[in-house]
Amino acid sequence: MASTETTPLLQDPPSEPPTTAHEETPQSSSRHGTFAAQLGALDGFALLISIVIGSGVFSSPGPVDANVSSPGAALLVWLVGGILAWSGALTFAELGTAFPGEGGIQPYLTYMYGEFVGYLAAWSWIVATMPATLAILCIVFVESIYSALGVNEPHPPITHKLLSLLVLVAVTVANSISTKTSTRLSGLFVAVKFLTIALLIIAGLVVVGVWLGSGKSKDLGGGDWHERGWFNARNTTLPDGGSFDWEGVTAWESLGYFSAALYGALWGYSGWDKANYVAAELRDPRKQLPLSINTAIPTIIACYIAANTVYYVLLPWDVVSTTDAAAVTAIYHFIGRVPAYIATFLICLVILGSVLGNSFVAGRMTVAAANKRWIPSIFATVGQIGTYKVSSSTTKPPSSSASNETAVTDSSTSPGGQSPINALLLSTVLSAVYILLGNMRILLTLNGLAEYAFFFLTVLGAILLRWKQPGLERPVKPFIAIPIVFAVISGFVVVRGAVFAPVQAGILVGIWAVGGLWYIARGKVRSWFRG
């Protein structure tokens, strides 16, 4: 086995320079994918919209606003987050078309840095990123309902956490029973996302129109939007009812708060890294993928900035920083309880779609890691709870000739035939721990650190590959300044964010350390059995 491994591309080979065969490694791998290449640029645009727009635009404005000195600064944070997502998506499109196949960033990291880094990214996604994501979504789901009822508590009681666990379990059961049902609901959720954002923008336009039409005497919104300067520093009201004065904050401390705010915005743009999945389904990725990205991401940025502007129009500014359900709170303040119920229903559908989709992806990512023998193989099974089969499906071990070690399944016609129930259960247990021990704002920073540490490494590797392998075929090749901008900003955000949030950073380092120990122990056990 060891003899088949190649030297990581960003490490110098032990003796001679890379051979032609080594240079062709990415291109010599199989180019066939799961989906047929039958989509056009418009389909790619819609697919990216459906992936990226989730609960973040409805839940993150509070954490963003609480970490900046003015509403204008908060809108700039949303703009910077969008630019970061845009530059990252284009760089990932370069890697996705240069390295055919599936598996997210793990194959890129493995090729560039070696198996351990690819493994650690998979471990981090399974143990930290995806469970934190699911925990945040379930918490926001419950808090949105309570906000519609007029309940906004800085320290929610245990009943809120128990209800969040109930949402998590319900989604896990749905994904375990029927994969087809999960995928068929996606179209409904996309339509609801656009409808909800459109209604928010209309509400903001109504407030501005009434104020102007009444000679600036009647305001249906929060009032602050036309009485105070949008970029003037103000004391920020904290969720616990306290007040934060920005007057004595140093520039270095401000950068720390900016990093925390940016994590909230990046949560809203979460999913931009899936742009490389779009490439597998486009008829002409060279032209259609950049076109899809360069139209979808700016559209999302415009929607997010417009929606956040509306929050500041509809709400008093001291309310924005204290809520974890900005959209519902805004509608409640604007036109009352009953419309807030309707808004809550729509937003909960959006969040539920995100929970369902992320749970679905988390299960598949766990299966992929188990197929590589990075975690116990029991998590690669489908249609089983533990070793007990709950359907007539069977899981066949990957053949020795399969380069990607993907398990072959016979889904049959039974419920759960294509569902990785064991993987879903693992994800559910880990997510439950995050729900019980954390809150949304702490988890946002943990999630951002976990994601962007590996995003930074991936894009840094892409930059270095421009130098190490200039002849590598790159169907999509953005201007070199684009990945450099991403690397600089994301690297700073990770470092400053870790300094600013040492608890979350320490937890993440602990998770990586446990993963490293597991990797070493797994290798020793396998060597012992082979010996």
pLDDT tens sequence across 121-171: 999 999 999 999 899 889 888 888 887 777 766 677 788 899 999 999 988
Highest mean predicted confidence (pLDDT) among 84-93, 187-196, 344-353: 84-93
User: 240-270, pLDDT tens digit by residue?
Assistant: 777 888 888 888 888 888 888 998 898 889 8
E strands in 82-137 = none
Q: Where are the domains of the chain?
A: 35-381+420-530
Task: Tell whether the model's pLDDT for residue 523 goes beyond 90.
Answer: no
CATH superfamily of the domain spanning 35-381+420-530: Amino acid/polyamine transporter I (1.20.1740.10)
CB proximity list for 138: less than 8 A, separation 6 or greater:
164, 165, 167, 168, 355, 431, 435
Task: Tell whether the model's pLDDT for residue 433 goes beyond 90.
Answer: yes
3-state secondary structure of 250: coil
Task: Tell whether the model's pLDDT for residue 414 goes beyond 70.
Answer: no
Task: Tell whether the model's pLDDT for residue 411 goes beyond 50.
Answer: no
Q: What is the mean pLDDT of residues 77-103?
A: 84
CA dihedral of residues 71, 455, 355, 501 (deg, nearest 10): -60
Name the band, by pLDDT with cuts 50, 70 and 90, for residue 179: low
Exposure string over 201-230, b if 16+ CB within 10 A, otherwise e = eebbebbbeebeeeeeeebbbbebbeeeeb
Task: Tell whether the model's pLDDT for residue 388 goes beyond 80.
Answer: no
Q: What is the mean pLDDT of residues 269-293?
A: 75
Distances (CA, A) of 449 to 56, 149, 384, 434: 16, 33, 33, 15
Task: Tell whether the model's pLDDT for residue 33 goes beyond 60.
Answer: no
Q: Write down the pLDDT at residue 28.
A: 42
Q: Tell me what percent of the residues of the chain surpass a pLDDT of 90.
A: 27
**Per-residue tokens: 356:** 């369902």
Query: How many other CB atoms are found less than 10 A from the CB of residue 301?
Result: 18
| Mean pLDDT value across the chain | 79
Phi, psi of 475 (to 5 degrees): -55, -30
Q: Which residue has the higher pLDDT, 264 or 305?
A: 305
Task: Tell whether the model's pLDDT for residue 239 goes beyond 80.
Answer: no
